[in-house]
Amino acid sequence: MNILFIGDIVGSPGREAVKKLLPELKKEHGLDFVIANAENAAGGSGITSRVTQELFESGVSVITSGDHIWKKSDVFEIIDKDERILRPLNFPAGAPGRGAALFTAKEGAKIGVVNLQGRVFMEGLLECPFKTARSAIEALIKETRIIIVDMHAEATSEKVALGWYLEDLASAVLGTHTHIQTADEKILPGGCAYITDVGMTGPYQSVIGRRVEDVLKKFITAVPTRFEVAADDIQLHGVVLDIDEKNGRAKSILRIQKKLLS
């Protein structure tokens, strides 16, 4: 089974990249299922009903998120209604939505998706992502061996540690949040595909998706500055996973960096 995981989608440039590049990627890699982190897809921070619908219409199967999931009030109207939208599983009890779910791909194959958020250098009083993940995966494994984990975290050590912690349970542990694609993709001994960060889908002539001049002003002057989404050099970054449907082990992980040509 071939699964594409798309790195953090930033604003309308990121959504445009998905819309125009995903059909080509589906043909090129024979994709069966598409997961995208889209917590920054609406105006550069948060998601809305219109934005999620646009992404689903573009071919995304499941949306994962992270610490910006609550930035737009519209999310409270949709997150309990649409199981294709996930928020980090380790939010405290009582938070809206869900952080793990079972989905059906082509020809009836079942895929479990788990969304987590790290605690190192991250805001929020969250539950332990390690214990939370293991509990959710042990429940999902009763239905499928194919389990994809989005670890939305700042600290590389926390992401690497989670990969090792789940290497004999998950098909893949994929890092998001930093918007910078790392070059450490690998298959861990237990058959789990791993990468510290899958990257960003959006404008790369930027500082992690925002206009360079806005970010520089904030760093140089320390004055609060509105960060606008940049517009140039739009790219789609992510990974393509080849997963054995019988045992859920990853056979390969391929980094993707595809430019949107004007």
Pairing, β 172-176 against β 147-152: parallel
Q: Is the CB of residue 210 less than 8 Å from the CB of residue 17?
A: no
Rounded to a whole number of angstroms, the CA Rg of the chain reads 17
**What is the set of domains in the chain, with CATH numbers?**
2-259 (3.60.21.10)
pLDDT at 262: 72
Q: Average of pLDDT values for 111-125?
A: 95
Collapsing DSSP to helix, strand or coil, 158 comes out as helix
pLDDT at 24: 96
Token digits of residue 10: 């930033």
152 is catalytic: no
pLDDT at 124: 84
Q: Average of pLDDT values for 192-213?
A: 98
Cα–Cα distance, 226 to 20 (Å, whole number): 29
- Candidates 29, 68, 179, 237; catalytic one: 68
Per-residue pLDDT tens digits for 244-259:
999 999 999 999 999 9
Pairing, β 193-195 against β 172-176: parallel
Mean pLDDT for all residues in the chain: 97
pLDDT at 51: 98
pLDDT at 106: 79
pLDDT higher than threshold 80 for residue 61: yes
Q: Average of pLDDT values for 67-73?
A: 96
Q: Has this prediction a pTM greater than 0.85? A: yes
